[in-house]
Structure 1
Amino acid sequence: MAATKKILVIVTNVGEYEKVGMRTGLWLGELTHFWDVAEQAGIPMDIASPLGGKIPLDPESLSHEVLAELGTEKRYRDRKFMDLLEDTKKISEVNLEDYDAIYLTGGHGVMFDFPQSRDLEDLMAGFYESDRIVSTVCHGGTGLLNVTLGNGDPLVKGKRVTGFSWPEEELADRADAVPYNLQEELQKLGADYRMADRPFEPYVVEDGRLITGQNPGSARGVAEAVVRRLTAVA
C-alpha cells in the first residue's frame, strides 16, 4: 500500500426523505469532527459523493445547539471549509491508489444513495481488499450493506460493527421516515452488531481495518482510530 497518508471522505447527495416531507442531507458534525482530528494529525483529505456537486446539509445539524457542540460552529462559519461542499468530485472519478483510508459520513440522506451506488460498493471493496482502512459513522454504515468481497461474502459478515441503532432511530422520531432498519440489515448480513449501553453515547467498534461509529457523537472517536492505524502503518 502506498504511504500517501490521505483520506477519502464520502458524503450524500440526497436532501430529502422519500416517504415524508422533512429535509435531510449530510449531518455536518460527522464531517467536521472527523476533519478536525485528521487535519490536526496532518493528514490531507478529499471529499466525494455519488453524484458529485453541491452537498445538502441536514437542517437539524445546523441548529444553534448542535453547532455549538464540539466546535462545529467554527467550521460552519469558515467560508473556505464550507466551500468544499459546493462542488465535490464524483465517486466514479476517484482513484483508489490516491488514498489509504475511506470514511463514510452520515445524515439520513445516505440511507437513500449510499446503498444504491455501485461505484461506492466497488470502491469500498477495493479499499478493504487492498489492505486499506474502511471507516463509517452513524448512518454511513449503510454504505456497507451491499459491499461484497471477491469471495462472494458481504464485507460485514462475521465482523464486529456498529451504526445508528433502532432505539436511536425511534428516539430521533424517524422510525416512520427511514426506508429500513440499519441495525437489522447489518445483522441480516451476518455482522456482529454492537451498540453502546445508552442511546447517543459515543461508541466506536474496531475490527482490524474496519472501523465503525454508532452515532454523530462517535465521529471524533472514529477519526482517532483511523489516525492511529495510519500512523501504525507508517
Structure 2
Amino acid sequence: MATQRILIIVTNAREYEKVGMRTGLWLGELTHFYDYAEDHGFDLDIASPAGGYVPIDPESLAHDVLSELGTDQRYRDREFMDLLKNTKKAGEVNVDDYDAIYFTGGHGVMFDFRDKALAELTARFYDSGRIVSAVCHGPAGLLDVTLNSGDPLVKDKNVTGFSWPEEEAAQRADAVPFSLQDELKNRGGNYSIADKPFEPYVVTDGRLITGQNPGSARGVAEAVVAALQAR
C-alpha cells in the first residue's frame, strides 16, 4: 500500500579519516530532492547510520552553491535545519512506512554509508518492491547491499555516481577511502557518466535510480516521483 512517504539517508561523518579537512552532508543534495518531492505531495523523513546530529560540508555552503534551487532559503529556515539535529537511526526504521529510500551525498557518506544495518535496510526496500535511489557519493550506500537472490543490488544494473575525474577535479582523490566509480563496477554495475564532468546525469534501471553529482539531485527526485506516481 502506498504511503506517500520517502526516507532520506544522510551522513554522520564530519571529517575525512586520512586528512584534516571537514566534510559532511552536501546540503543541496538534500534540499533539491526534498523540495521537489514535498511539492509533489510526499512526506519525507531523514535518517542517518548512527542517528542524531548531521554535519554539513562547509563547501556546500559557498554562496554560488547555496543559491542553487532555493537551498539558501532552506539554510535560513530554522525549522528545516533543526531536522538535522536529531535524525532517526536508519537501522531502526520500518520499511513498511515508506515507498522509497534516497541516499544523499557529500564526501562524509564514504565513511559511514557502508554500514551493515543500512545495507540490510536497503535490501528490504528493494526486495519488497520499493524504489531505491541515490545521488553523487550516495551510491556508496548501495555497494554492500545483497538481495534475497544472493546478488549485489547493483549487479547487472545501469548505475551512475560521482566519477573519478570529478573526484580529481574536486581535489579529493587523495582524501577518499575508495573510488566509487571503481567499486560500482567491481560489483557488476553497468556504470556510465555524463559527457562532461559535473553535468546533471540520472540513470533509471527499474526501481533503482541514481544520479552522478550534486547537480543531479533534482533530476533524481523527478525520476523517483514519476516512478511512484506511475504505480
Q: Shorter-chain TM-score category?
A: over 0.9
TM-score (norm: length of structure 2) = 0.99
- 1:97 and 1:69 map into 2 onto residues whose CA distance is 33
Structure 2 partner of 1:108: 107
How does 1:180-199 map onto structure 2 within 5 Å?
A: 180-199=178-197
Structure 1 partner of 2:63: 64
- 1:92 and 1:106 map into 2 onto residues whose CA distance is 18
Structure 2 partner of 1:87: 86
How far apart are residue 171 of structure 1 and its match?
A: 0.2
**Residues 152-175 of structure 1, C-alpha deviation per residue, up to 9 Å, x if partnerless?**
110000000000000000000000
**The residue matched to 1:157 in structure 2 has which SS?**
coil
What's the % identity of the aligned pairs? 71
**The residue matched to 2:46 in structure 1 has which SS?**
strand
- What's the C-alpha RMSD, in Å, of the aligned pairs? 0.6
- 1:41 and 1:221 map into 2 onto residues whose CA distance is 14
Structure 1 partner of 2:122: 124
Structure 2 partner of 1:52: 51
How does 1:1-234 map onto structure 2 within 5 Å?
A: 2-115=1-114, 117-233=115-231
Q: Which runs of 4+ in 1 moved over 6 A?
A: none
- 2:15 and 2:94 map into 1 onto residues whose CA distance is 29
**Residues 137-186 of structure 1, C-alpha deviation per residue, up to 9 Å, x if partnerless?**
00001001100111211000000000000000000000000000000010
**Paired residue type of 1:47:** I
**The residue matched to 1:82 in structure 2 has which SS?**
helix
**Paired residue type of 1:68:** S
- 1:64 and 1:46 map into 2 onto residues whose CA distance is 27
- 2:79 and 2:151 map into 1 onto residues whose CA distance is 41
Unaligned runs of 5+ in 2: none
**The residue matched to 2:230 in structure 1 has which SS?**
helix
Unaligned runs of 5+ in 1: none
How many residue pairs end up in the alignment?
A: 231
